[in-house]
Chain A
Amino acid sequence: MNTLEDLKTAVINGKRKEVKAIMPDLLDSGFEPSAVLEQALIPAMSVVGERFKRNEIFVPEMLVAARAMKEAMAQLEPRLVAAGIKPQYTAVIGTVEGDLHDIGKNLVATMWKGTGFEVIDLGVNVSADAFLAAIDQHKPHLVGLSALLTTTMPAMKDTVAAIRNAGHTDLKILVGGAPITDSYAAEIGADGYSRDAASAVDAARKALAA
C-alpha cells in the first residue's frame, strides 16, 4: 500500500506516472483529500523550492515536479468538490501585462484551489484594466500577480497602483515570480510576497489574517 511519503517522494522526483498510479490508491484507502494536499503535496513542493534555492536541482527538474504536482491535483480536485468543501475565500490570479510565463502562476492557482480558495485564473498577459474588471465582477479577498521577467516588473507595480487607485485599499495583493523580492513587494504596495508556490498558501493565509 502506498503512503503519503511515497506520494511526496514521487512529486519531488518528478515521477508523474508514479503519482498518477499512487493517487487513486491513497484516495481509495481513506486518506482525506486535504491531508493528501497538506501533508504530501505542499511539503513536496516546499522541498523542491528549497533544493532549487540550494542549487541542487535546475529549472527543468522543478518544471517536472510541477507537472507531477499538477497530475496529483487533477485527481484531487474532484474529490475536494465531492467532499463538499466550500471555498472559504475567492482569489483572482494572473501574470501581469507583457508576461506570458505561467508555470509558477498555475502552480500557485493549483495550491490555492486545494486549500480553500475559489480561484479565478485570468491567464497570462493580463492588463491592469482586466484585473480591475475581474475584481469588480468577483469581489475577491485576494489578488495574485506574477512576473517572471525583470522587463515586466514595472507592469506589476502599475497593476498594484491601479488596484489601489480604484479604491481597493483593503484588498489583499500577493506578488511573486523569479525576480520579485520581499522588499520589492513592500515597495510597490503589495500585502505579501511568496518566494515559491509552496509558500504561497501560507503567504495568502497570513495576508488574509492581517
Chain B
Amino acid sequence: MKPAGHHALLACDVFKEEINHFVTASPPWCAAVFLEMGLHDRPDQLRQTVQQRIASLEADHPQLQTILLAYGRCGNGLLGVRAERCRVILPQAHDCISILLGGRAQHDAVLKKNPGTYFYSPGWIRGKRVPGPDREQHLRELYSERYGDDEEMLDELVDADREAFAHHNRAVYLSIFNKPAAENYCRDCASHQGWEFQCLKADPSFLLQLINRDWNSDRFLIVPPDHSIEADSDGTLVARP
C-alpha cells in the first residue's frame, strides 16, 4: 500500500463520526479536510468550495497523488469538479444517504417503497438540520442574524420551512454503529412531525472501501488527473476530459 503521504481525504462534515469511528489505526492519508454539511442546498457554492480545497491540497502537498472524496453527486454540486495533477476517487452515490445505505440501488429501493421517507443520520442530527423539535428554534436563531427582530419575517420563514416537509410521512434512522442517543432523538423527531419511525441498518461498505483503498470501479468513480466529474442521463457518475 502506498504511503499515507500520497493520499488526502476531502469529506462532508456529516461523515465525521463515521470516518473517525472506522479509522482505528493511523489515518491512511496525509490530510483530512471536512467541509461544512448542507452545502448541497447551494450546489454552485458546494462545487466552488470543493474545487478550492482540491486546489489547496494539490498546492500544499507536492507528494499527493490521490484525493478521496466522501461525497456523492450531492444535488449536482460535485459535477464539474476536477483536480489538476491528482486522481480523484468518489463513491457512485446520489449523496450521503446512498453512501450510508451502501449504494444508489439500495437508496432508490427505499425511496421507491416510500417516497415520503426523510433520512436521519448521526451527522445530520449533530448538525441540527433535521426536521424535529429543535429545528424551529435553530432556524429562528439563524434567521434572526439576518432579519433581526422582524418577527413577521421569522414566522414566514419558519412556516415556509414547515411546508417544505408537508408530504413526508416517515423518519428513517440510518444506524451505522451503536449510537442510542441519536436513534432516540430520531424517534422524538418522528413523533414531533407525526411521522412513522423506522430504524434501518446502514451499510458501512462504501466508507470502509474508500478508507481501505478498495476502489472497485463498479462502485467508485476514478477520475484521472485533469478530468472532471460528470453524470450521464441514467445518473451514473463519469469522468470526462
Contacts and interface: CB of A to CB of B under 8 A. Distances in A.
Interface stretch (A151-159, A168-176, A193-201): A151-159
Contacts of A67: 156, 159-160, 163
B233 A188 contact: yes
Contacts of A101: 164, 167
A64 B160 contact: yes
Contacts of B168: 100
Nearest to A14: B156
B94 A150 contact: yes
B159 to A, nearest CB: 8
B235 A60 contact: no
Nearest to A54: B44
A184 B235 contact: no
Interface in A58-92: 58-61, 63-64, 66-67
Given A151-B111, A188-B233, A179 B75 contact: yes
Nearest to A188: B233
Interface in B1-60: 41-45
A159 to B, nearest CB: 13
Given A124-B167, A157-B233, A188-B233, A150 B73 contact: yes
Contacts of A187: 233
Nearest to B158: A60
Contact of B167 (A100, A150, A153): A100
Contacts of A152: 111
Contact of A55 (B44, B75, B156, B160): B44
B116 A100 contact: yes
Interface residues of B, number: 33
A17 B152 contact: yes
B76 interface: yes
Q: Kindly name the residue among B73, B159, B234, B235 whose own CB sees the greatest number of chain A CB atoms within 10 A.
A: B235
B124 interface: no
Contacts of B235: 150, 153-154
A98 interface: yes
Contacts of B139: 60
Nearest to B147: A61
Q: Kindly name the residue among A59, A151, A184, A187 whose own CB sees the greatest number of chain B CB atoms within 10 A.
A: A151
Interface in B163-190: 163-164, 167-168
B233 A99 contact: no
A21 to B, nearest CB: 13
B153 A63 contact: no
A179 B95 CA distance: 13
A149 B75 CA distance: 7
B161 A60 contact: yes
Nearest to B48: A55
Given A63-B164, A153-B235, A16 B76 contact: no
Interface string A88-109: 0000000001111111000000
Contacts of A58: 41-42
Contacts of A17: 152
Contacts of A59: 41-42
A157 B233 CA distance: 8
27 contacts: A55-B44, A55-B45, A58-B42, A63-B164, A64-B153, A64-B156, A64-B157, A97-B115, A99-B115, A100-B167, A100-B168, A101-B164, A103-B164, A124-B167, A149-B94, A150-B76, A150-B95, A150-B235, A151-B111, A153-B235, A157-B233, A157-B234, A178-B43, A179-B75, A179-B76, A187-B233, A188-B233
Interface of B: 41-45, 73, 75-76, 94-95, 107-108, 111-112, 115-116, 139, 143, 152-153, 156-157, 159-161, 163-164, 167-168, 231, 233-235
Given A14-B156, A59-B42, A67-B156, 4 more contacts: A150-B235, A157-B233, A184-B233, A187-B233
Closest 3 CB pairs of A and B: A100-B167, A63-B160, A98-B115
